[in-house]
Amino acid sequence: MKVLLVDDSVTMRRIQKTQIGNLGVTEIVEAGDGQEALGVLKNNMPVDLVLLDWNMPIMDGITFLKTVRADATYKDVKIVMCTSESEKSRVVEALKSGANNYIVKPFTPEALKEKLGL
């Protein structure tokens, strides 16, 4: 299983990388914003799952999500949106835009395991 972590926070990516690694995922690639993530995704297919931050500079998560979902090449890529508690109201928009699931930050390893279907 290959996972793409997209978050502008290096610290957040490091935490997620450890958590996902502890769940047995060995193939992990990273990007710091949506635009970078489009390139990383393209170059690393097949990617099974994207863990996607919402607020990022250059290209935010929802724009990345909509761009990816407009391309049939990526129809099998699962996308899990990461959101803070205060952004929870936007989850509907993410799901309507093609996110497979969402997870509220900060999350426990157990929540991550469940949301990623691992």
Residue ranges binding Mg ion (CB under 5 A): 8, 53, 55-56
Question: By Cβ distance, which residue is nearest to Mg ion?
Answer: 55
Question: Which is nearer to Mg ion, 13 or 115 (by Cβ)?
Answer: 13
Q: Which residues of 14-24 are buried (b: 16+ CB within 10 A; e: fewer)?
A: ebbbebbeeee
Q: Compute the least distance from the CB of residue 84 to Mg ion, in Å.
A: 9
- Helix (H) / strand (E) element for 22: namely helix 10-22
Q: Which of these, 102, 40, 108, 103, lies nearest to 68 by C-alpha position?
A: 40
Q: Compute the least distance from the CB of residue 46 to Mg ion, in Å.
A: 26
Question: Which is nearer to Mg ion, 1 or 93 (by Cβ)?
Answer: 93
